[in-house]
Structure 1
Amino acid sequence: MMRLHKRREMHLNLQPTNIIGFKMKMILLIGALIIAIILVIGFFTGHFISETMEAQVGDRALSVAESVAHIPELAEAFRQEDPPSAINALVTPIQQATKAEFIVVGNRKEIRYAHPDNDKIGKKMVGEDNERALAYGESYVSKAVGSLGSSVRAKVPVYLDGEIVGVVSVGYLVNDIQSIIQSSTSHIWIVLVNIAVVAVIGAILIASYIKKVLLGLEPKEIAYLLFQKETILQSTHEGIIAVNQNGMITMLNFAAQRLLFDQVIPSRQYEGKPLKDLAPSQQLLNLLHDENERIDQEMMIGKTIVFVNKAPIYAENSFIGTVFTFRNKTEIDLLTKELKSVKQYTNALRAQTHEFSNKLYTILGLLQLDKKEEAIRYIQRESSLQKNWIHLLIQKVSDPMVSGLLLGKLNQASELGIEFTIQEDSRLTTHLNEMQSEALLTAIGNLIDNAMDAVKNNSPADKKIALYFTDIGNDIIFEIDDAGEGVPDQHITSVFQQGFTTKEGEHGGFGLALTKQIIEEVNGDLYLEEGDLGGASFVLSIPKDLEERGDSNA
């Protein structure tokens, strides 16, 4: 079972690290971004407030100016002998009520009739921005420098009997407006600075959390580890499939792709897809729903027998997925085939040695009992039996590997007390190519071993195996009968299925499936019949010419 545990401290010297770590970089970058945003917001807000404030002051001044200009007494005062006295008395209360910096009234010659400073009454208005009101009768807001300083002021013409007789100027000093703007923006900057401080503290917390989640690794270290992991996964000869908790494929290395599809495919064809859509084996899907760990579970995927290991993945006690690894049993068999052949010859030699020793003791006993004639007959009989076996195999079987295998099985059966007979009319004179020879050696060896297992618990009289083979016609045929219990009718259709077995113990049910697969690879066939000895009878056939039935597997 695989578990992922976070470690607060990991000292990995994978790649040269920078002086500034990932955490500090994040704090600096996020902090710089926050400060830049705050500055943009602050300056934009200040500019917006300034523009808005001046516009509002201008509108207010214009409103006051229009109100003053439309007072009837103000227009009538222009006809009096002393206009300044009457007009000044009218506008002074209005100026105080509206808190305007000044309300100035002048005639068409721009001579002041009213002004906050009495000393300036009777003098010419300053600013040179009265033409639009006096000449064209417009009402407007302007910004100019007057006798009291720079100001935002509104100009409205004064009409008497339909003619322009003067102008009303209402203004607010720019310095007063700026002081109001600065007071407002200073409060905004204080709020923005506090926000920036909180945001920088948040950036520090976020950077610390991300650093913790990344196990204290730097981005370059993570990239290097990812590259290293990917290289290891793709270069290993074991197939690896990783799925998440929903059964969706997250990783499929090259070895697994070749095992499943006989080629490497683009990741888009399998990533995020259910395992059940790609897995060719129902046993693999059964393992997916099994929460227990599995080690060296033998199964067949496609035409390949593999050992499957399954390991659930847990992170902080939460199930997050499953990893399957596959080892190709066929590759292991390439190594074991030679060992198996050596073992077969070793077993044959051991059987012959053991049997020869027993026979020597038998001969010795007969000689010690002065039974010379019986000893001679016994020697002649045994010599004749071995000669008959060897003569039969040399005469009937042209392939030395097959004849060697059969001789070894004859001696092995003799040692086990099994009566192993080869029918006299058997023959195999066809020259076998490498594929046919390998297929026959594996298939015959497996079938004879199964037959020996089937009769090993029988009584001595019923330990019988019969072999018949022929190459008359277009096919090479082998028939192996045994006197065992046979295969029940309900299991006949399942006997060649992967994983099916009637034997006790684990990892069974692959011998016949493998045998049938090997025979089919050379366009042959393997089937079960009712045997003459009362047990099972397996018949295998392969064509002499591999091209003869090539279309059947196309």
Structure 2
Amino acid sequence: MAQHTNDGFLQSNNPGGRLSLRAKMIGLISLLLIGVFVIFAMFLYPFISDTMEEQIGKRALSVAQSVAHIPELADAFERDEPAAVIQDIVDPIREETGAEFIVVGNEDGIRYSHPNPDRIGEEMIGGDNDRALNEGESYTSRSIGSLGLSIRGKVPLRNEAGDIIGVVSVGFLDSEIRETVWDQSKPLWVALISIILLGIAGAIAIAHYLKKLLSDMEPEEISHLLLQKEAILQSTHEGIVAVDQSGLVTMMNAAARRIVLGDEKQADHVYGRPVQEIIPETRLHRVLHHGERHHDEEMVLSGNIVLVNRMPVYDRETIAGAVSTIRRKTELEHVTKELLQVKQYANAQRAQAHEFSNKLYIILGLLQLNQTQEAIDFIKQEKNIQNEWSAFLTQHVADPMVHGLLQGKYNQANELGVRMEIDPGSQLTHRLYGKKRTAFVTALGNLLENAIEAVEAVPEARERMVSVFLTDMGDDVVAEVEDTGAGIAEEDIDKLFQQGFTRKQNVHRGTGLALSKQLVQEAGGEILLEEGEYGGACFVVTIPKEGIQDE
């Protein structure tokens, strides 16, 4: 297995003495080349040998035919000592043609010529003269004679009348033929062996290049590393999405599928598809086209507030793809919602404590000035205001989550010098649960937060007020939030609920209204912008009492 060095790279080793990838590649390619060479040799050598034997046989037959047509040869048969004449005729021809022997025999097979003069007058050996002497054929044969195995050309010898009077046999020894075959094919074998050596050298170069390309890792190490990284990618809680240079999804881990698709098992229909079809809100195409990098950008995906990082992947200096990491703002969606509520409660407590501290100082100042009656009246007045607000919420708002939210926002508004009032005709006796409650509380909290921020920027000379109206008289639960702020510019109305749109200068803004609209729509309701009475923004949230199953 590979070992990690101090600089973080993998260092290869070879446990158990197994052959390395380099050795395997060199060995296998070499065996392949040698195998091809052996198969080629097994086919080529017999082909060359047979071809050479055929050519030499034709050559022997041609010489024999030439000798058989010499007139002096047939005339010599009429003499008392034919051998004396015939031997002198054929010896120069044998030396000139390079034949091993030229033997002329009579019709009984008795030699009249032979390379070894001592064998003249003896019977020809080989037993292959019958076709020439009896049938008058010219042919080649392969037989063992007095000089050994040879290839022979046999031609019948005729007199002037055309009668067969003998036979001419021209032969080349098999050993010499084999030597000739080797001499003729030697350059070919040298070339083939050179090709094998070059192939082995190429195998060594290829193996070295591949090992370098694979960071000197073995296939087993690569397989283990791939499985290890796949396990890490699929087990991490942070979603990871990778695309190629065409914007097609090449990887999406389980966490990303949970966040984006809501089901970590849905994967088959994801790979190879454009990322914008799967994540319409993504901006990975900008990363691919412009090489932009985005860090901790807040957005909403499938009802989840997430922080997204995007960065290009470079191959040398060319963008080869992009990777996006997605993580929930909290580990679980319900933790995010609870955190929002805790934050609201914390702000309410902080505002209430600050306001209480200010009022204590007022009472202390009045008492130090001996304005006892004024202090008593001030205490009664504040008590009545708090009691009236709390009593109204207790009597008319049955849902404790909405009750707590309104109480907290009231205290927060008081601390910031903003007057918050609830319409006397408000009534919320119907309780919402699950998705509907989450959507209603989230939307109402965001609208109140935005309204308070809007009127906070209003000059002190103008009235700073946020008005709330709640009702569940019909089939829907309705909340209306209106303020005396600057309102919504006409050119911003169409973009108001878009992810990331904001006129505020703070980072990570522009998710509140987008998230609220998405949650309200999933609960079967609507969030609308209407024209208000006070010159500011007026938002209306409606959630149906029935129709959507709560979870």
Task: Normalising by structure 2, report the TM-score.
Answer: 0.90
In 1, Cα distance between equivalents of 2:91 and 2:7? 78
Change (3 A) 1:73 1:259: farther
In 1, Cα distance between equivalents of 2:79 and 2:274? 101
Q: CA deviation at 1:12?
A: 4.3
Q: CA deviation at 1:178?
A: 2.4
Task: Provide the residue aligned with 1:552 in structure 2.
Answer: none
Q: Percent identity?
A: 47
In 2, Cα distance between equivalents of 1:349 and 1:449? 16
Secondary structure at the counterpart of residue 515 of structure 2: helix
Higher mean displacement: 418-427 or 56-65: 56-65
Secondary structure at the counterpart of residue 537 of structure 1: strand
In 1, Cα distance between equivalents of 2:522 and 2:406? 23
Q: CA deviation at 1:187?
A: 4.7
Task: Provide the residue aligned with 2:480 in structure 1.
Answer: 479
Contact 1:7–1:215 (CA under 8 A) maintained in structure 2? no
Query: Equivalences for 1:103-252 in 2 at 5 Å?
Result: 103-160=102-159, 161-252=161-252
Higher mean displacement: 409-418 or 214-223: 214-223
Secondary structure at the counterpart of residue 324 of structure 1: strand
Change (3 A) 1:462 1:253: same
Contact 1:309–1:325 (CA under 8 A) maintained in structure 2? yes
In 2, Cα distance between equivalents of 1:466 and 1:217? 69
Change (3 A) 1:263 1:62: farther
CA distances 1:314-339 after superposition (whole Å, capped 9, x unpaired): 45555433211111347455324333
Change (3 A) 1:102 1:35: same
Gaps of 5+ in 1: 1-5, 550-554
Higher mean displacement: 318-327 or 219-228: 318-327
The code of the aligned residue for 1:98 comes to: T
In 2, Cα distance between equivalents of 1:365 and 1:265? 67
Task: Provide the residue aligned with 2:364 in structure 1.
Answer: 364
Task: Provide the residue aligned with 1:511 in structure 2.
Answer: 512
Say whether residues 1:47 and 2:46 are aligned partners: yes
Task: Provide the residue aligned with 1:446 in structure 2.
Answer: 446
The code of the aligned residue for 1:124 comes to: E
Contact 2:468–2:481 (CA under 8 A) maintained in structure 1? yes
Higher mean displacement: 274-283 or 106-115: 274-283
Q: CA deviation at 1:520?
A: 1.1
Task: Normalising by structure 1, report the TM-score.
Answer: 0.89
In 2, Cα distance between equivalents of 1:137 and 1:279? 96
In 2, Cα distance between equivalents of 1:266 and 1:154? 84
The code of the aligned residue for 2:215 comes to: L
Task: Provide the residue aligned with 1:464 in structure 2.
Answer: 465
Gaps of 5+ in 2: none
The code of the aligned residue for 1:91 comes to: V
Contact 1:524–1:540 (CA under 8 A) maintained in structure 2? yes
Higher mean displacement: 456-465 or 321-330: 321-330
Task: Provide the residue aligned with 2:300 in structure 1.
Answer: 300
Change (3 A) 1:523 1:15: farther
In 2, Cα distance between equivalents of 1:464 and 1:71? 140
In 1, Cα distance between equivalents of 2:216 and 2:468? 70
The code of the aligned residue for 2:383 comes to: S
The code of the aligned residue for 1:435 comes to: K
Q: CA deviation at 1:225?
A: 0.6
In 2, Cα distance between equivalents of 1:114 and 1:14? 78
Task: Provide the residue aligned with 1:21 in structure 2.
Answer: 20
Task: Provide the residue aligned with 1:3 in structure 2.
Answer: none
Contact 1:306–1:328 (CA under 8 A) maintained in structure 2? yes
Task: Provide the residue aligned with 2:96 in structure 1.
Answer: 97
In 2, Cα distance between equivalents of 1:222 and 1:27? 19
Secondary structure at the counterpart of residue 502 of structure 1: coil
Task: Provide the residue aligned with 2:503 in structure 1.
Answer: 502
Change (3 A) 1:548 1:183: closer
In 2, Cα distance between equivalents of 1:474 and 1:389? 27
In 2, Cα distance between equivalents of 1:15 and 1:531? 77
Secondary structure at the counterpart of residue 438 of structure 2: helix
In 2, Cα distance between equivalents of 1:437 and 1:272? 39
Name the count of aligned residue pairs. 544
Higher mean displacement: 313-322 or 137-146: 313-322
CA distances 1:41-94 after superposition (whole Å, capped 9, x unpaired): 445444333222222211110111122223445445545555444544443332
Q: CA deviation at 1:265?
A: 6.6
